[in-house]
Amino acid sequence: MAIPSYATRGERLWHYAFLGLCALIFLFLIGPLLVIIPLSFNAEPYFTFSEAMLRFDPAGYSLRWYQDFFTSSAWLGAIKNSFIIGIASTILATVLGTIAALGLSSRHMPARGAIMALLISPMIVPLIISAAAMFFFFSKINLAQTYPGVILAHTALGIPFVVITVTATLSSFDTTLIRAAHSLGANPTRTFFKVVLPLVTPGVVSGALFAFITSFDEVVVVLFIAGPEQRTMPIQMWSGIREQISPTILAVATLLVVLSMLLLTTLELLRRRGERLRGLSPG
């Protein structure tokens, strides 16, 4: 957004004020995430910067909260649960969602709008309502406080993300490529593996990542329908924040910020790959 050469002095001033304002808003967005990273290396059990930390005294910093995290059986058990539930529900949501997306992107899909609205609804209905409803229903059919119960619930929550990303990928898929492959002598199987799959995979993988992070992050539903056996990482954090605040939580938070950075990078790479394969991007 360069300033045009005909801009008056007032406009220039306004332009810089605007940039300053945007910088402040970006600070508001990202600042909090940056603050907790150094705080998690605090040698003292406080949530704020100690004097030693401000003087950059090495004694003010320590890895004790990370050590705490990696040696605590409660936290490690919670991570294990989070991965079990996250991976199982991601696989279910991705398989069901991708198959459905294939149908939804057909030109002849009946009642497309209504069905799409239904499939997306778990994303729109507030989590506390889904949680309450699932709690009532799952207790009736003996699924509450079991792994299958939590996995089914998380699958339902992850499905909208898979459906949205995969249908978006499929809508930009050029079906003439299939005919081209046929005309060049490829049989349907070969066409599917050599043409369709490479173009669709980035969309499916990013849908799966969305579903995984949804499950990995989810507190409310687990809070209601999981028993003590299925304690996940967010639940462990939740009770940590409510009961005894210790900087171990900040260490976990930092690790999670790093994890989301990795995820974001992966998604961006997938998006670029998808665009390159479709010839949409110059780079």
Partner 1 sequence: MSESPSALLTTADGVPLKVSLRRAVRRSKVKAFLLVSPLLLFLVVAFVMPIFDMLWRSVDNPEVSTHLPRTVAALERWDGESLPDEPVFAALVEDLREGQAARNLGLLSSRLNYEKSGMRSTISRTARRMGSVEPPYRESLIAINDTWGELDTWKLIRREASPYTPSYYLAAVDRQLTPDGEIAKVPDHLEIHVSLFWRTFWMSAVITGLTLLLGYPVAFLLATLPLRHSNLLMILVLLPFWTSLLVRTTTWIAILQSQGVLNDMMVAIGVIADEARWQMIHNKTGTIIAMTHILLPFMILPLYSVMKTIPPSYMRAARSLGGKPFLSFRRVYFPLTIPGIAAGGILVFILSIGYYITPALVGGQSGRFITNYIAYHMQTSLNWGLAAAIASILLFVVVVFYLVFNRLIGVDKVKLG
- Pick out residues in 220-239 that bind partner 1 (CB under 8 A): 220, 224, 234, 237-238
Among 142, 175, 150, which residue's Cα sits nearest to residue 81?
150
Which residues, including other chains, have CB under 8 Å from residue 101's CB and lie 6 or more apart?
Answer: 162, 163, 166, 167, 170
Considering only residues 246 through 275, tell me which ones interact with partner 1, judged by CB under 8 A.
Answer: 249-250, 253, 256-257, 260-261, 263-264, 267
Number of residues that bind partner 1 (CB under 8 A): 90
Q: How far is the CB of 226 from partner 1 (least distance, A)?
A: 13
- For position 9 contacting partner 1 by CB under 8 A, the verdict is no
Closer CB to partner 1, 113 or 279, in the complex: 113
Nearer to partner 1, 135 or 185 (CB): 135
Structural contact between residues 87 and 150, judged by C-beta atoms closer than 8 angstroms: no
For the bound state, the minimum distance from the C-beta of residue 182 to partner 1, rounded and expressed in Å, comes to 18
The residue behind tokens 């320590």 is 62
Contact 225, 231 (CB under 8 A): no
Min dist CB 194 to partner 1, Å, is 22
In the complex with partner 1, which residue's Cβ is closer, 126 or 185? 126
Residues 41 to 70: which contact partner 1 by CB under 8 A?
A: 46-49
Phi, psi torsion values for 186, nearest 5 degrees = -85, 140
Residues 119-158 that bind partner 1 (CB under 8 A): 119-122, 124-130, 132-138, 140, 152-153, 155-156
Nearest distance from residue 2's CB to partner 1, in Å? Answer: 9
The pair of structure tokens assigned to 185 is 């002598």
User: Least distance from C-beta 146 to partner 1, angstroms?
Assistant: 13
- Nearer Cβ to partner 1, position 102 or 277? 102
Rg of the chain's alpha carbons, rounded to an integer? 24
Pairwise CA distance, residues 28 & 135, whole Å: 37
CA 175 to the chain's CA centroid = 30
Among 9, 29, 185, 279, which residue sits at the site for partner 1 (rule: CB under 8 A)? 29
Closest CA to 97 of 250, 208, 220: 208
Binders in 155-184 for partner 1, by CB under 8 A: 155-156, 159, 161, 163-165, 167-168
d(CA 42, CA 59): 9
Interface with partner 1 in residues 66-125 (CB under 8 A): 96-97, 99-100, 102-104, 106-110, 115-122, 124-125
Q: How far is Cα 232 from Cα 56, in angstroms, rounded to an integer?
A: 35
